[in-house]
Structure 1
Amino acid sequence: MSAPATNAASGRARITARTLRTDRWWVPPLFTTLGLATFVIYAGIRSFVRTAYYVPEYHYLTPFYSPCLSDSCVPGSAHFGTPFGELPGWIPLAFLSLPFLLGFRLTCYYYRKAYYRSVWFSPPACAVAEPHGKYTGETRLPLILQNAHRYFFYVAVLISVINTYDAIVAFHGKTGGFGFGLGNLVLLGNVVMLWAYTLSCHSCRHVIGGRLKHFSRHPVRYRLWTQVTKLNNRHMLLAWITLGTLVVTDLYVMLVASGAIPDLRFVD
């Protein structure tokens, strides 16, 4: 059997087929596309409908509307006041946080891998040719904006603090004082997962110990770095889990706020 023809200049085999793989290599990119598209569509709709996003009896506020800072917010949902006036319908009520959270997710190292392969096809899978004639990396628009990920990280930490505050405020009884229901578990679980995802970020790992040349001289930072590294190894898993917890939290708040289901109360 003769050897395949090669290009003398490049030394690479002349393979005209898109790929020689015989497995179903297209399944992972397809499911990634469907998963990301489902979340984007759901989150996009919920961010603009302006209904059933707050439960006044228990102070449940969906993360898609936090922080709510305008006069358009329903009474009680503006945990940090209303420094802004009425907003037109085409502006989401959480307009200060959503762009940064979107930027944080889009520039995340895992999500880059996900949508580069499943949407941009660069490449769609290992050993599968991509449709682009050339590759410039993250040196030109729009991909050069990926370098802003480290800055989005700091804002994501601040928003996680706000979400934590929202979860604490939600421990509220129907008639005042302390209260505890299933909604609190949902909100708290979402916050814990969001913190895990945010702290597992590659930028967080770099901030804590990326510039250290001698770990032995910084034992505390080294200890923190090792813990963040453990989270970083699960960054992909946490990225998907948090998409799920965000949808579940918003859906639960929406169902309770609309009266579709009652909140299961343990202490009221």
Structure 2
Amino acid sequence: MSAPTADRQGTGVFSETRARIPERTLRTDRWWMQSLWTNLGFAAFLIYGLVRASWQAAYYVPEYHYLTPFYSPCISASCVPGSSHLGVWLPEFPPLVPLAIVTLPFLLLFRLTCYYYRKAYYRSVWQSPPACAVAEPHSRYTGETRMPLIVQNSHRYFFYAALLISLLNTYDAIVAFQSPSGFGLGLGNIILTGNVILLWIYTLSCHSCRHIVGGRLKHFSKHPVRYWLWSQVSVLNTRHMLWAWITLGTLVLTDFYIMLVASGTISDLRFIG
């Protein structure tokens, strides 16, 4: 029997002991639907985020201090007056350069290296493998030991950055409770606050957070506080995939609402102030 070659049927499984099945899979269900929906979801968010982050307009409502997360922190001289909650640290940016350039790369890398997102785009984008009992089209596998995938091992460090950015988003949400008459509450406040809460849940449900809180302990009984924290994070961690998708949606919802109000398309629904 001749040795298997890398071009045989594009199966991606070339072991000599593998049964010689010409089909890529014997599954008869629509196994490709999950990959399709995942790709569509990622593409929709990335396109929307790219357009909005480089738009440099309709991101701040001065009357109610609404600042979209896509532009926080706005620390450039290009920012509209009042939107620089932390002050102006940088000169004007060229057109199309995101005003939140200091945080967006860290947020993107935090999501890209996330354990759930890795599984999602490994299967849907790289087809490695696309589904259970479906052979992948690749002839080689090196894991996360080479560039660029070796960067995945830095996820815990991006988690620390995400914690700081979550604190910043919390500050932005608190500042937004100011209105011309003092304390104010509008639909924008509810959306901003809800988004921040969900972002915290997603961040704290991270696998790295679970390891940081309860990892490297030989006896939980000797560390009751850390054990309790680990237990709470573990509850959140079981729904990490759900929080990952929900927060993509709430980020878009928050930005879109603030864009509509900032552009004058709609008025903020006010309850107080």
Band of TM-score, shorter chain? over 0.9
What amino acid is aligned across from residue 157 of structure 1 in structure 2?
L
Find the aligned partners of 1:80 and 1:153 in 2 and give their Cα distance. 22
- The Cα of 1:10 is off from its aligned counterpart by 4.7
Show the counterpart of 2:3.
none
- The answer to whether residue 238 in structure 2 is matched with residue 213 in structure 1 is no
Listed one character per residue, the Cα deviations across residues 1-53 of structure 1 (whole Å, up to 9, x for unaligned) are xxxxxxxx853322221100000000000000000100000000000001100
Listed one character per residue, the Cα deviations across residues 220-244 of structure 1 (whole Å, up to 9, x for unaligned) are 0000000000000000000000000
Show the counterpart of 1:48.
54
- The answer to whether residue 207 in structure 2 is matched with residue 199 in structure 1 is no
Show the counterpart of 2:262.
257
Equivalent residue of 1:148, what SS?
helix
What amino acid is aligned across from residue 182 of structure 1 in structure 2?
L
- In structure 1, which of residues 190, 195, 209 is the aligned counterpart of residue 195 of structure 2? 190
Unaligned runs of 5+ in 2: 1-14
Show the counterpart of 2:142.
136
Find the aligned partners of 1:211 and 1:123 in 2 and give their Cα distance. 32
CA RMSD of aligned residues (A): 0.9
- The answer to whether residue 170 in structure 2 is matched with residue 164 in structure 1 is yes
Equivalent residue of 2:53, what SS?
helix
Show the counterpart of 1:18.
24
Find the aligned partners of 2:217 and 2:102 in 1 and give their Cα distance. 34
Equivalent residue of 1:266, what SS?
strand
Find the aligned partners of 2:109 and 2:192 in 1 and give their Cα distance. 23
Show the counterpart of 1:6.
none
- Paired residue total: 259
What amino acid is aligned across from residue 172 of structure 2 in structure 1?
D
Find the aligned partners of 1:220 and 1:138 in 2 and give their Cα distance. 34
Equivalent residue of 1:155, what SS?
helix
Show the counterpart of 1:114.
120
- TM-score, normalising length: structure 2: 0.94
Asked whether the equivalents of residues 166 and 199 of structure 2 are also in contact (C-alpha less than 8 Å), the reply is: yes
- In structure 2, which of residues 217, 240, 244 is the aligned counterpart of residue 239 of structure 1? 244
Equivalent residue of 1:48, what SS?
helix
What amino acid is aligned across from residue 119 of structure 1 in structure 2?
V
Moved over 6 A (4+): none
Find the aligned partners of 1:69 and 1:30 in 2 and give their Cα distance. 38
Aligned identity (percent) is 71
Find the aligned partners of 1:183 and 1:259 in 2 and give their Cα distance. 14
Show the counterpart of 2:7.
none
- The Cα of 1:176 is off from its aligned counterpart by 4.0
Listed one character per residue, the Cα deviations across residues 101-133 of structure 1 (whole Å, up to 9, x for unaligned) are 000000000000010010000011111111111
Equivalent residue of 2:218, what SS?
coil
- In structure 2, which of residues 65, 79, 83 is the aligned counterpart of residue 77 of structure 1? 83
What amino acid is aligned across from residue 160 of structure 1 in structure 2?
S
- In structure 2, which of residues 209, 229, 232 is the aligned counterpart of residue 227 of structure 1? 232
